[in-house]
Structure 1
């Protein structure tokens, strides 16, 4: 494309002065009008710069506020999600306003049907033939003319930054060009500002293809019209407004709020050929234009619409201005030219006034109001946040004070309850130990009754199973008896103590955690003491003696005599020396079937005792003969025979009565004696064990209760830390809200100053 442009420029330019293009000679001319500092367009430039600066600050402010509110979104008592979402919409709104305000010019778009003279109107306003014009479909693409600080004009194709010669626009943008551009493509023409009064303050002219040559009107609007400040509808005065033209501007009005539209009825010079219908046709066009602007588009009032409809001849105006500047020779013009030319100049004045006054007011006033609305909305929301934060902060401070007081009270009461419960547990443990010891001693004394109740068949040949079952019977019986005597009272005392502990400790626990201790609950099994007697191991060394022994045998008699003598000696020694200790007696023993007696003095034994002792200990025939001979000589044979018969009868009786029942009775008697002796040895141990169980139960109960208090205290401490964090967060939130609220007041004041300076003075 660049090569094509260079070829086109070469064809249009020549070495000689006669071949120079009219466009190339424009650089030799100086501006007809000189811009002044107080021109309406300068006011627009200054106002635009000011409002842009304000909205840059508003954008920063909205971003800061949205970020601040997003961080507060979780604190539902301060702000809710709907408010945050509403605030987030302000970001896109401000960005949209900024994008519109960021343009450094006012854009004027010319639209109409093909060959209505759009390009001619722009050329006449620019006072030079810059854009291609002619019969038929001429302009093939969008042409944008804007001012440039450079002294030489140039053009730039869309999507490129390369400067091309402006002379090529006649071929490049012409519909008859072989390498024509797409109808939606834009070519920017940069024209020196010192050559055109309207371009001096960055006013941009946009020429367009006919609205009747393409169905892509929506694409045109989106691409080239959304940022236009003024629209000029160039109509053909030889016809009337067509549906195509109206539909296009209907689409524009739906995208833009009340666009500024001028209607130029071009080619009004054709009315010179029919002067008799001049007024009627003008009135007809005027009425239809008013209806279109006021009733159909509803973009202005009737009075405003009357000042935006003009009847001109762009071709005549362009020729006249070219002739004034010496570019062309004077050309005869149709009748009424002066009126048409004056109306064209009037259009230019009204057009400039619209840019400098109406556009500034309608455009910037709306954005100013929207900016002030956004600032006010955020200010009110920040006021709400600040008040909510202060209120919530006060509530949190009260809660923190209550928690501190409750924690101190809980710690003091827990220390007091702990001391009391320790003393109570100590007293109860001592009481249990005494009760168990007393009850166990009483049960040991009644052990023979318990053993007598055991009725398992007794077989002297096999006693291992009998012993095992007897051990279990005694252990279960003692345990059940002890439980019957102690369980109810101990359980009642335990329940009372646990209930007291629970009530005392639960008073320190928050209401939400009460009743979850599980100590005194319906259906819970009461505490029971386990009496670990373990008779099987305790009486494991029991050895029964079921051998038959004659109760009136010599050995038995000597044993009874020896036992009685030992007891009498002990009593005698005690009477003679009350302070002396009892002399321990050595028990009799049997070794290899012989009875070993303790040695005594000779005066304490009678002759019979000595003889009997000698007879027994001898264990031989000689000893028996000696005893028999001694007795025969002493008492006589009749007494001996009688005594022997009685003695033999007693022996026979006892031997016959030594049945399995007698053996069982002897076994139980021996077992009772052995078990009594063993059980007395573990009385203290058992009572201590039971008291230890009670101590463990009560201590465990109190420990669990204290653990609940610790959990409650830990939870309160956690709540305190959370409260501290919330308080710090609320303090920070309130401070930040106050700063942002003050900034909103500042921005509102800036917008008010802008209104006073630029909007109210117009």
Structure 2
């Protein structure tokens, strides 16, 4: 059974040391407590495995401990005399041989028994330390008591050394019976009481006999003999019953004896020599000798029965106590583990609900925000397209506001066009921003605030503080309108040479251009894009009857050349016809008016007129080009808005994803902790049940053993 308890203590020790300290399930005091039980169980196991009974004699100096042992052995083996004689622990044990010898501690060399006086006597110069053990092997054939495998241990006086605790731990914990040798000339002293209090703290109800030695001195005062005996008896019984609580009052008086060890030793030495003991002893010798023999009988009875029972009962109780203490310890560990497990399970459940809610809300918000972003992008594209078309229709106003000096010189004209490109691009961008920026910024900002509010609601409190560094920039978002007029109108070629409005070439071009305009309006109107308003057709830029611009230019030149090729013949025929019809005066007047108109137009064809013509041609050309990029520009602006909103939402999603990732890690950590706590609780429960099993087994053993000895 001791082996099973030892295994249980080792198993419990391994268990408590394996529990992580940071879990606050097992404290360092728990580990130390379990470790202390290992040495206690080892001591119990050693005692139970021992094949002899150990009796320890204690008392103050010169109380006669060595004399009592010599009297019990019937020979003067141990050194004795006046004053402090025994300086170390002397253990007398039986030897099967016929020659006695002694062994010093930590030595196997046999020494002659005569050397005991040199080793153990306090007056010897080469004396041993007071906690040293000298083993005396005495032939069993010379002593009946030693034949019963009894070991007698003599000790130094308990009042002459400070190593009392060391004595108890080293030589007393495995003793089966304690014999306190007191001095009947004085009362029971605190030194003796304190010693047995310390023994009682370490052993459960030790077997104690108390010998009131030197009772022969009471013969000198016979009138006080009974009173002194009663005084000693009352104090000693009170010590055993009320202070130590090792026996019942009815049994206490049977453990106290009034003897004279010196007289008993002398009688037995004389008997060994064949000398009669009829005289030479003080009055009352017979009663003292009889009481010493009574002590020996009860001592032997205790050794043969009571001490054995007490030995097993005592250590059984100690084993039960150790089992009970460990049962409480592992029970407390189990309760703490289950308590923490329940808390971790609640935390895990709460975290799971939070994680599930976060993921569902994230999916819902993602769908809604995608739809909202698409709606905003479409709205931005529509607004930009409408605003840009409106600005294109008002392009002539913007061009008319351009007031840089104009000159038809080619070098100056190139600089003028470049500056005009920049003016138009800046003006269009400024007008678009004035029309759209406030509304777009407000719409974007409100959308960002909405998605921020909804996404931050999915984060933990500590994560919300990080959102300020990731979410919308402090400056409002501004759409950039990239028109690039310089490249867009790079193919613009002005025509500012003088052309008489009533000239033949101009009239032919005007006539053919008008026909082309009507044809395009009637036949090609359905081919114009819905998103781009129709470009106003002018005589200078409309191809007739579906013929391309370049083809029509060649045709018109050919027609003009054909008309002019008639030369003088054509003019002559026309003049002759007119002359016969209206006369010379009408012809002259008409020629004068025609010439005046030509001269007027020629004189008014100044740089200012050229600039107006240039700007008109530029407006027409830029209008056509800008209409081509309306869709591209509006799409570009909507893409900027989409990037801004998508970027903000992506940063928010990343923040939420980081939070959910941390929650997943925390979930896995909680699952591991729950599993660890479950394993710890299960192991503690197993050890608790095992302790209960061992205690029950010890109870059965105790009841069975005691019933057999009754």
Smaller-chain TM-score range?
0.7 to 0.9
Q: Indicate how the Cα distance of structure 1 residues 445 and 419 shifts in structure 2: closer, same or farther if over 3 A, else same.
A: same
Q: Which stretch of structure 1 is more off in the superposition, 146-155 or 516-525?
A: 516-525
Pair 435,348 (structure 1): closer, same or farther in 2 beyond 3 Å: same
Q: Does 1:109 align with 2:57?
A: yes
Q: Distance in 1 between matches of 2:568 and 2:275?
A: 187
Is the Cα–Cα contact under 8 Å of residues 79 and 121 in structure 2 kept in the other structure?
yes
Give the SS at the match of 2:151.
strand
Q: Secondary structure at the match of 2:558?
A: coil
Superposition pairs of residues 689-704 of structure 1, within 5 angstroms: 689-697=636-644, 699-700=646-647
Say if 2:190 is the partner of 1:240.
no
Aligned to 2:243: 298
In structure 2, the partner of 1:374 is 325
The equivalent position to 1:89 in structure 2, one of 16, 30, 33, is 33
Secondary structure of 1:106's counterpart equals: strand
Does the aligned pair in 1 maintain the 2:381–2:638 contact within 8 Å? yes
Deviation at 1:144, TM superposition (A): 1.9
CA contact (8 A) 1:316 1:333 kept: no
Distance 1:742 1:219 in 2: 36
**Partner Cα separation in structure 1 for residue 521 and residue 71 of structure 2:** 161
> Structure 1 length as normaliser, TM-score?
0.69
2:424 corresponds to 1:448: no
Displacement after TM superposition at 1:714 (Å): 5.0
1:413-436, Cα deviation, whole Å (9 max, x unpaired): 94x887787677667655544543
**Separation in 2 of the partners of 1:192 and 1:450?**
137
Secondary structure in 2 aligned to 1:179? coil
| CA separation of 1:151 and 1:253: change in aligned 2, threshold 3 A | same
Which of 539, 546, 557 pairs up with 1:582?
546
Gaps of 5+ in 2: 526-543, 572-583
> What are the superposed Cα offsets for residues 125-158 of structure 1, whole Å, 9 maximum, x if unpaired?
1222221234555433331223456665432212
Task: Return the match for 1:66 from 4, 8, 16.
Answer: 16
DSSP-derived class of the 2:137 partner: strand
Whether 1:55 and 2:1 are equivalent positions in the alignment is: no
1:598 counterpart residue number: 557
The offset of 1:122, in angstroms, is 0.6
| 2:200–2:244 Cα contact (<8 Å) kept | no
Once the two structures are TM-superposed, the CA of residue 174 in structure 1 deviates from its matched residue by 3.0
> Contact conserved, 2:55 with 2:179, CA < 8 A, in 1?
no
2:623 paired residue number: 676
Q: What SS is found at the alignment partner of 2:186?
A: coil
Q: 1:171 to 1:610 in 2, by over 3 A?
A: farther
CA distance in 2, matches of 1:214, 1:390: 54
Write the distance in 2 (CA, Å) between the matches of 1:368 and 1:686: 93
- In 2, distance between residues paired with 1:704 and 1:610? 85
1:449 Cα deviation after fit: 1.0
Residue matched to 2:528: none
Q: Which residue of 1 aligns with 2:529?
A: none
CA offset digits 1:682-708 (Å, max 9, x no partner): 223213322333444455566556656
In the alignment, structure 1 residue 318 sits paired with structure 2 residue 265: yes
Which of residues 467, 471, 483 in structure 1 aligns to 2:433?
A: 483
State TM-score, norm by structure 2: 0.73
Distance 1:419 1:178 in 2: 102
One of 250, 253, 262 as aligned partner of 2:194: 250
Residues in 2 aligned to 1:648 and 1:601: alpha-carbon distance in whole angstroms: 22
Deviation at 1:345, TM superposition (A): 0.9
Change (3 A) 1:176 1:417: closer
1:70-469 equivalence runs, <5 A: 70-71=19-20, 80-81=25-26, 85-86=29-30, 89-93=33-37, 95-96=39-40, 98-99=42-43, 102-103=46-47, 104=50, 105-114=53-62, 116-147=63-94, 152-192=99-139, 195-200=142-147, 202-210=149-157, 220=167, 224-225=171-172, 228=175, 230-237=177-184, 239-241=185-187, 246-247=190-191, 249-254=193-198, 256-257=200-201, 261-270=208-217, 274=220, 277-281=221-225, 283-284=227-228, 286-288=230-232, 290-291=234-235, 294=238, 298-299=243-244, 306-324=253-271, 326-327=272-273, 329-330=275-276, 332-335=279-282, 336-353=284-301, 356-357=305-306, 359-360=310-311, 363-364=314-315, 366-368=317-319, 370-374=321-325, 376-378=327-329, 380-381=331-332, 384=335, 388=339, 410=360, 414=363, 429=377, 432-455=380-403
Deviations 1:283-305 (A, max 9, x none): 32551464366369933576655
Q: Displacement of 1:491 after TM fit?
A: 5.5
CA contact (8 A) 1:319 1:328 kept: no
